[in-house]
């Protein structure tokens, strides 16, 4: 009997830092494909009409926190899961380290997204990452191919695509989510604050 798939889920992933070095975090935004356009517009509407690509590392922390505050107030985020996962420094091939981080983050997000779907398992997931020198690499592709066969929940991923973040506001939102952990380091906010104020779960 064929497996009954849940509605299409999109996972947008961007990074803060460099794979293998510290600090290195991934930010992930999980949303139903049918609701991605609404979330994209809600985020875009908070930016100036002539705004260029959002790069968190180049922007004022207060502005970014206000942006997330306004997003939380103006968009229905109860069906959106945002995750920030931090990874320790380690030796090895950066593309493989990045790939493993993506797999770990996606699996964690899929587990949390069960509540949104009301299912025990989540499948039918497309992962979209910001194209960079780590994931535009044969070692990354090889790791993804193997993970989709053997890595538990990650077997529910249909494909992993690379996209220039300039073309997607939701990748830019994932960039802000990835950067948000720096606010704890700077003692601007704590982990509970990130979760309660912005809806960002730390792993």
Instruction: Report pLDDT for 202.
Output: 93
Number of domains in the chain: 1
Q: What is the CATH number of the domain that holds 183?
A: 3.30.420.10
Q: What are the pLDDT digits (tens) for 158-182?
A: 999 999 888 899 999 999 999 998 8
Residue 25, CA atoms < 13 Å, CB-side half-sphere: 27
Domain contains 2: no
Domain contains 185: yes
Domain contains 57: yes
Residue 25's nearest CA partner among 34, 33, 15, 35 is: 15
| CA of residue 70 relative to chain centroid, distance | 19
Domain contains 55: yes
pTM: 0.92
Domain contains 63: yes
pLDDT, averaged across the chain: 90
Segments forming the whole domain that contains residue 197 = 9-202
Domain contains 1: no
Q: What are the pLDDT digits (tens) for 4-24?
A: 678 999 999 999 988 888 889
Domain contains 3: no
């Amino acid at each position: 009997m064929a497996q009954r798939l849940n509605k299409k889920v999109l996972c947008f992933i961007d990074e803060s830092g460099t794979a293998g070095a510290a600090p290195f975090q991934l930010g992930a935004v999980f949303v139903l494909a049918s609701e991605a356009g609404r979330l994209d517009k809600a985020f875009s509407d908070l930016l100036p009409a002539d705004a260029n690509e959002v790069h968190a590392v180049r922007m004022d922390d207060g502005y970014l926190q206000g942006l997330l505050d306004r997003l939380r107030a103006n968009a229905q985020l109860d069906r959106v899961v945002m995750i920030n996962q931090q990874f320790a420094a380690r030796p090895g091939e950066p593309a493989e380290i990045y790939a493993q981080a993506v797999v770990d983050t996606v699996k964690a997000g899929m587990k949390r997204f069960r509540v949104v779907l009301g299912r025990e398992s989540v499948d039918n997931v497309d992962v979209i990452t910001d194209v960079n020198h780590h994931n535009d690499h044969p070692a990354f592709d090889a790791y993804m191919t193997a993970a989709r066969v053997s890595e538990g929940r990650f077997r529910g991923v249909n494909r992993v695509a690379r996209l220039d973040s300039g073309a997607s506001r939701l990748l830019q939102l994932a960039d802000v989510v990835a950067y948000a952990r720096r606010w704890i380091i700077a003692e601007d906010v704590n982990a509970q604050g990130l979760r309660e104020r912005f809806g960002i779960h730390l792993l």
